[in-house]
Structure 1
Amino acid sequence: MIGKINSYWMRNTVFSIFILFASIFTSCEEVIETNLTDADPVIVIDGSISDQSEVQTIKVSKTTPFDQPNTFIGVKGAKVTVYTSSSQTLSFVPTSDGIYKSSRFKGIPGVKYTLEVVAGGKTYTASSIMPTPVRTDSITFKKISIFGNASIYPSVYYNDPAQVQNQYRYIVKVNGVLTADQVNDDRFSNGNATSDLITFEGDGIKVGDKTEIEIQCIDRNVFKYYFAISQIGGNGGPPVAPSNPNTNLDNGALGIFSANTRAVYTVTLK
């Protein structure tokens, strides 16, 4: 939370300095107009394979023009296939524009999954190895006080396996509303009993709130992707210069493909 407060202060301070210098040099700078609507749409692929027996989903869309609403523009007619290192071929069929679903199946930890999407005459691929799941011991709530204002957040307890690099993703919904999407790794907790505090903007969790926490074990490339997104947004520290986060997709596609384990817990603060 302190990082969020600092990042907010930094953004406003930097912006004020920028406005000051801009006003000083306006009279001697040449104005160059840029047409932000001319950029060609880019393919965006977002999909995952979980260790749950379920219908798996891959989304294929295109970026929207700068001056248009940020809506989902699904790509029709794509061919979506996932190949496994255990010699399986999994076909995905369209259920609506840009939404491609498999038949029900369960991903297996340790298996490498390779996604292939053929769309618009181009082929896009990405690979992800499903990690071994790490068991959650318990979930509690912690009260954190910042400048006299106390808020309550969930904390996940687990034993991190030694001699292997682990990465975790936490997706939190409070009363059905997405409030946090946070990643963490074991850089400082490898092989130890530890806990991850999940913070988010707003008033925290209140008595009676129904909190759903999805816990994923993800591979290193997927972790880097979501960590870069959090840094661009300024979560956990000063924001960095905007750029597209590193993706495991090739051929210029945006997005991410993840093979991950998944467990969902629902707790209510009393």
Structure 2
Amino acid sequence: MSIVKKCVLVSLVTGLLLSGCEKVIELKLDNSAPVLVIDGGISDQNENQVVKISRTNNFTEPNKFNGVSGAKVVVTRPNGSTVTYNEVSQGIYQSVKTRGVPGNMYVLNVTLEGKTYTASSTMPGRVVLDSLTFKQFNFFSTKDTYVAVNYNDPAAFQNQYRYILTVKGKIEEDMVSEDRFNNGNSVSDVIYYEVEDLGAGEKLDVEFQCIDRNVYRYFYSLGQNNGRGGPPVAPSNPVSNFNNGALGIFNAYTSSKRSVVIK
């Protein structure tokens, strides 16, 4: 048999195999019991602090906020005084205007259906976001523009940071970094969100948080699951600082905000 005929025969067989693979394979995905998710924090800003409480959805259900009502939500300060959060809408709990103090540890207790979920977080020292600038990079002959956050990292302590980029009221990037290689330096970290599609006059807002180590680990592992900073890893729940099997995070943080306008 000639090489040409062999190639034709292989092509025909391959085509038949591929056409046979067009059958829809039905996977049996077992639903799991809903798990409580608590997402909240306390900042150094005098504002209404917020805690969101929900339950996970089954795999086949729409991915929406499944808010949980009827919880008792209390934050305890270092001096033993407490702040009670009131439910303002389903699953959304809010405090009166209050603020945390850097260096202090805060404890969040959420009691629901006779079970209490507890997490603690220590608010780091405050680092100010100095400015936002644009940086351009050439990738495969294409010029891309990104926003960079600029600040001075203090050398005295280990620091972890969170950058939240908002465009038109929507969070577009939420990432974390540490000062492992930048301790004591002037830092200019790039947020890899392309701004080419935005027009002149569009505003970008960045919230710059100083966070504790456990909170950093949570958001870092969350980013790894989403493929940020490298190939996605096998999906798993980020390590929560809550006990009793709850998912989510309690974050005591300092906050600094800046905006930049595209020209």
TM range (shorter): 0.7 to 0.9
Map 1:143-182; keep pairs closer than 5 Å. Answer: 143-182=136-175
Aligned to 1:36: 30
- Are 1:257 and 2:242 counterparts? no
**Conserved? CA contact 1:130–1:259, under 8 Å:** yes
TM-score of the pair, normalised by structure 2: 0.86
* Structure 2 residue matching 1:188: 3-state secondary structure: coil
Q: Specify the code of the residue in structure 1 equivalent to 2:205.
A: E
Please, which of 219, 243, 248 is the counterpart of residue 226 of structure 1?
A: 219
Please, which of 241, 248, 261 is the counterpart of residue 234 of structure 2?
A: 241
Aligned to 1:117: 110
Task: Give me the whole-angstrom Cα distance separating, in 2, the residues matched to 1:178 and 1:101.
Answer: 21
Q: Is the deviation greater in 251-260 or in 88-97?
A: 88-97
- How big is the shift at 1:238? 1.4
* Structure 1 residue matching 2:219: 3-state secondary structure: helix
Please, which of 163, 166, 190 is the counterpart of residue 197 of structure 1?
A: 190
Q: Among the aligned pairs, what percent are the same residue?
A: 49
Please, which of 45, 49, 65 is the counterpart of residue 52 of structure 1?
A: 45
Task: Give me the whole-angstrom Cα distance separating, in 1, the residues matched to 2:255 and 2:214.
Answer: 17
Task: Give me the whole-angstrom Cα distance separating, in 1, the residues matched to 2:60 and 2:201.
Answer: 41
Task: Give me the whole-angstrom Cα distance separating, in 2, the residues matched to 1:153 and 1:98.
Answer: 35
Aligned to 2:12: none
Distance of aligned partners of 1:183 and 1:204 in 2 relative to their CA distance in 1, 3 Å threshold? farther
Aligned to 2:13: none
Please, which of 39, 62, 70 is the counterpart of residue 77 of structure 1?
A: 70
Distance of aligned partners of 1:35 and 1:176 in 2 relative to their CA distance in 1, 3 Å threshold? closer
**Conserved? CA contact 1:52–1:262, under 8 Å:** yes
Task: Give me the whole-angstrom Cα distance separating, in 2, the residues matched to 1:182 and 1:203.
Answer: 20
Aligned to 1:137: 130
**Conserved? CA contact 2:172–2:193, under 8 Å:** yes
> Number of residues paired by the alignment?
241
Q: Specify the code of the residue in structure 2 equivalent to 1:172.
A: L
* Structure 2 residue matching 1:57: 3-state secondary structure: strand
* Cα distance per residue 1:203-244 (max 9 Å; x no partner): 465533211111111111111111101111111111111000
**Conserved? CA contact 2:146–2:194, under 8 Å:** no
* Structure 2 residue matching 1:74: 3-state secondary structure: coil
Q: Which runs of 4+ in 1 moved over 3 A?
A: 31-35, 201-207
Task: Give me the whole-angstrom Cα distance separating, in 2, the residues matched to 1:51 and 1:174.
Answer: 24
Aligned to 2:201: 208
Q: Is the deviation greater in 41-50 or in 67-76?
A: 67-76
**Conserved? CA contact 1:169–1:181, under 8 Å:** yes
* Structure 1 residue matching 2:218: 3-state secondary structure: helix
- Are 1:93 and 2:74 counterparts? no
Task: Give me the whole-angstrom Cα distance separating, in 1, the residues matched to 2:123 and 2:47.
Answer: 16
Q: Specify the code of the residue in structure 1 equivalent to 2:92.
A: I
Task: Give me the whole-angstrom Cα distance separating, in 2, the residues matched to 1:178 and 1:77.
Answer: 28
Aligned to 1:266: 259
**Conserved? CA contact 2:57–2:63, under 8 Å:** yes
- How big is the shift at 1:76? 1.3
Uncovered stretches (5+) of structure 2, i.e. residues with no partner: 1-16, 18-24
